[in-house]
Amino acid sequence: MAGSPRKRARRLGIDPLDEPAPGSSVAPPRAKLEGFEPHNKVRLSANNRERVMAALFDGYPKNAIARALSIAVKTFDRLMQDDPDLLAQVEAQRAFEETELRDILMELARKGDTVAAIFLAKARHGWRDRDDGKLSVDTGGGGVLVVPGTLPIEQWSAAAALQQARYRERLPDTASNELSGS
């Protein structure tokens, strides 16, 4: 093939500065350059940092904050990774939102919203609605409670109490006779 050594090196993906010196089979390893910071690295001013913290606390999405700063979302992600306080604020906001959403869903479920109840059961307690061959069910704990979907909580509580009453009642005298040894 024709071409200059530079073009050949570029075509083969070889950096000409990393080629071995003439007459040697291996080039000596170079010391790794560390401590350099890209010349175009964006930093937040103290004023912008406080505004970003407030926006994160108020629940603004990352893309809206990045747009307000006139930077890319990737740059904003890097800024957050470089600043542990910003990361802590994001985690605190997520935890707050999760708690608030859980409370809303719990309130809806208590009012009889079956969709909210099913979602909470799946998301927080691992319930599944399909048969899974890997799933093992422990049935040694008692009966099954059938939850009606359209009853208000008071009627549901009464229906649950009636359904569970037979499991909570004492056994006939045969159980007391066995305990006394007769």
CA distances, 105 to each of 39, 112, 113 (Å): 48, 11, 9
Q: What is the mean pLDDT of the chain?
A: 75
Span 126-154, average pLDDT: 64
**Tell me: the pLDDT tens digits for 64-91?**
998 998 889 998 888 888 888 888 888 8
d(CA 49, CA 55): 10
Span 85-102, average pLDDT: 86
Q: How confident is the model at residue 2 (pLDDT cuts 50, 70, 90)?
A: low
Span 146-160, average pLDDT: 70
**Tell me: the pLDDT tens digits for 112-126?**
888 888 888 888 877
| Structure confidence at residue 49 (pLDDT) | 87
Closest CA to 105 of 113, 96, 94: 113
Span 151-164, average pLDDT: 76
| Structure confidence at residue 150 (pLDDT) | 66
Q: Does the pLDDT at position 170 exceed 70?
A: no
